[in-house]
Amino acid sequence: QSVLAQPPSSSGTPGQRVTISCSGGSSNIGSNYVDWYQQVPGTAPKLLIYRNNQRPLGVPDRFSGSKSGTSASLAISGLRSEDEADYYCAAWDDSQSGRVFGGGTKLTVL
Amino acid sequence: EVVLVESGGGLVKPGGSLRLSCAASGFTFRNVWMSWVRQTPGKGLEWVGRIKSEIDGGPTEYAAPVKGRFTISRDDSKKTLYLHMNSLKTEDTALYYCTTQYSSSSLGYMDVWGNGTTVIVS
């Protein structure tokens, strides 16, 4: 059972906009930044969003992040086949004094 | 090029020990905080722990499932991070990544992961 809750799966068609949610609590998302990762099977996770809504250099602006209270969301617009991957949210948890991850959302591009 | 390379994984019996290494290059290793994250086959990501830079100081932090059994250390002169694992359990079987996040004046915010090293406890 992950501390941060994500839907196990999501899907969309090319060109569509999809949103992946991440729900936590006051000790993690409610009081700390949220990061989002993309992981293609067989490869290491890649940072898409840091500090709730910032994109590292090289990440397309099709990817955006937001946070409100104890929940966060990752939005992907103009969906492409290469976006098919697993997506994870992460945040520091003050009560656990550790970083916590969501269980991951498998995104399928139909 | 910024690179992290893990090594030291393998097959070990329950109760055994193993030491993982993570060799860093392409950035100022001594200035950054380093972490270990593991991933069980077919499952999600789990934070193992982190060690701060010497200049920042402070305690090394561990996830509850590994606290008291795992120890993270670093050798800044060798630009190498270590994960000493004792009293291994079958549930420690995973792919272990070393990772770091830092801000670069030229490259912006950096989040670096190695390719991982596999530990099988059986």
Query: Which structure tokens are listed for A108?
Result: 């399928």
Question: Which residues on A lie below 8 Å from B107 (Cβ)?
Answer: 57
**Is the pLDDT at B41 greater than 80, yes or no?**
no
B108 contacts A101? CB cut-off 8 A: no
**Is the pLDDT at B14 greater than 90, yes or no?**
yes
Residue of A57, A63, A93 best to disrupt the B interface, most CBs of B under 10 A: A57
CB pairs under 8 A between A and B: 52
**Is the pLDDT at A1 greater than 90, yes or no?**
no
Q: Residue A79: what pLDDT?
A: 98
**Is the pLDDT at B42 greater than 90, yes or no?**
no
Burial class (CB in 10 A: 0-12, 13-18, 19+), B98: buried
- Per-residue pLDDT reduced to its tens digit, B70-87: 999 999 999 999 999 999
Question: Which residues on A lie below 8 Å from B35 (Cβ)?
Answer: 99
B64 contacts A98? CB cut-off 8 A: yes
Q: Which of B61, B109, B114 is closest, CB to CB, to A44?
A: B114
What mean pLDDT do residues B20-47 have? 94
Please give the full DSSP string across A7-55, using - where no structure is assigned.
-SEEEE-TT--EEEEEE--TTTTTTS-EEEEEE-TTS--EEEEBTTTB-
- Per-residue pLDDT reduced to its tens digit, A49-61: 999 999 999 999 9
**Is the pLDDT at A82 greater than 80, yes or no?**
yes
Q: How many CA atoms lie within 13 A of B44 on its CB side?
A: 22
Task: Indicate the residue type of A82.
Answer: E
